[in-house]
Amino acid sequence: MRELLTRSAGELASEVAKGAVGAEELTRASLDAIASRDGRLGAFLTVQADAALAAARAVDDKRRRGERLGPLAGVPIGIKDAILVEGAPATAASRVLTRRGGADPNEGFCAPYEATSVARLRAADAVLVGKTNMDELAMGSSTENSGFFPTKNPHDEARIPGGSSGGSAVAVAANMTTLSLGSDTGGSIRQPASLCGVVGVKPTYGRVSRYGLIAFASSLDQIGVFSRDTRGAALALGVIAGHDPADATSVARDVPGWARSCEESVAGLRVGVPSEYFADGVEPAVRARVEAAIAALGEEGATVVPVSLPATRFAVATYYILATAEASSNLSRFDGVRFGLRVEKPGDSLETMYERTRGAGFGAEVKRRIVLGTFVLSSGYYDAYYLRAQRARTVIRRDFDRVFEAVDVLATPTSPTVAFKLGERTADPLSMYLADVCTLPASLAGLPAISVPCGAAEPPGGGPPLPVGLQLIAPAWQEARLFTAAAAVERSLS
């Protein structure tokens, strides 16, 4: 039955609605796949088997009563552990959100309410099977920074799956779930989607509610979707998108029928290819696969246009000032007083208790980013770093505005490399940060972007070919263009 999970989400939901396959049957297939594969891969932190089976039976009962089923009926979904599921542990892969700072995520902070995106999945009759692994508090590009254990790439278990939403990418790539939710701050959906060979979409900032997402950098974080194909991603994003009064950054915009966009032609679509994204550092084999995918769009009727985005060179420095500053502010809530870990000794002052708790609960990368963020916000440095970075962010956004007067979408590599080996970059934070060099600019500009598989490339030094992703970027609120172009790539390369 495991082959069921290789099918598209829309196809599965249709089969459940017709009674050709049961939601419980699908859910058991998902749970069996997790049980047999995840011990090696580490994609899941917690699995809610009983709750998932109960939800699946409710979907089957609903069908038997003749009631209309939702668009994701019976589809098994994994949820990144930074997104709250009521009654389930929520650690964001950090020991600071466990009761005793231990190694068991099942002892994590229990979410007292549900993220809006999760509530909308339930309303669409999806089945939530578990919480997926991630870099601690979404800070990382490899899922090696998890406070519990690393996640491994199913194409080569000696390599990273990308991050920070690595567990969600692997859950789909390894056929353990059909869809999964992740969050993307600087590339945390698109980069692991590329390295694991699945579709990953980050919507326009404000398109999907952040209510119930454990915050990293509030002006950048967005919840998005992993799927086996573009149509499944379009369907799932359509379910979770839309205005939410519980999130002040959620924007009231109509949600189009994006699944229909997957059937449209790219004839006449203007595809911009920015030279800055093909500079030194992009592996030649990755460049070749991406250029072939862009050429395929041209063969489908799109017009390929060389363009330039000169402000791209500011993106890495700008991001790591703004994101760390916001992280420093957001993470002050993890103090040992309100929830999660509390470390103290008799006679400790409140300040000492804070220090012990945060020292024991946070990992090295989170501490590094808190220190950086606190520094750039400190007296005497605020203008020199934080304000200057905000100005650079505006320049980057205006760069995109200018280019989108001439083209409809942009096409770039998602990652400059294929998946690198576990441990290869852990001692070199800068080289790890550069893994997101292609995804950061769209995040800073708040633009929608998608990664779609475009073949495989041999890693430097040899070895089996590994997945490569094509990144497509569109103007704000134009997700439809992404799905049209991504689906065309899928058709041309299939």
Cβ atoms < 10 Å from Cβ of 221:
24
Helix or strand (DSSP H, E) at 373: helix 364-377
Closest CA to 116 of 211, 206, 207: 211
Is 345 considered catalytic here? no
Give 190: exposed, middle or buried? Use CB within 10 Å, 0-12, 13-18, 19+. Answer: buried
Contact indicator for 219, 185 with CB cutoff of 8 Å: no
Give 265: exposed, middle or buried? Use CB within 10 Å, 0-12, 13-18, 19+. Answer: exposed
94, 141, 142, 164: which is the annotated catalytic residue?
164
Give 86: exposed, middle or buried? Use CB within 10 Å, 0-12, 13-18, 19+. Answer: middle
Alpha-carbon distances, residue 370 vs 12, 216, 316 (angstroms): 43, 11, 17
Is 188 considered catalytic here? yes
Pairing of strands 179-184, 76-80: parallel
Give the integer Cα–Cα distance in Å for 239 and 73: 12
142, 180, 188, 250: which is the annotated catalytic residue?
188
CA angle 133-126-169, nearest 5°?
A: 30
Give the integer Cα–Cα distance in Å for 298 and 291: 11
Which residue in the block uniquely carries the two structure tokens 């699908």?
26
DSSP string computed for 231-288: HHHHHHHHHHBS--TT-TT--------HHHHTTS--TT-EEEEEGGGGSTTS-HHHHH
30, 80, 142, 443: which is the annotated catalytic residue?
80
Cβ atoms < 10 Å from Cβ of 62:
17
Number of alpha helices (DSSP H) and beta strands (DSSP E) in the chain: 16, 11
Give the integer Cα–Cα distance in Å for 161 and 432: 13
Catalytic residue IDs: 80, 164, 188
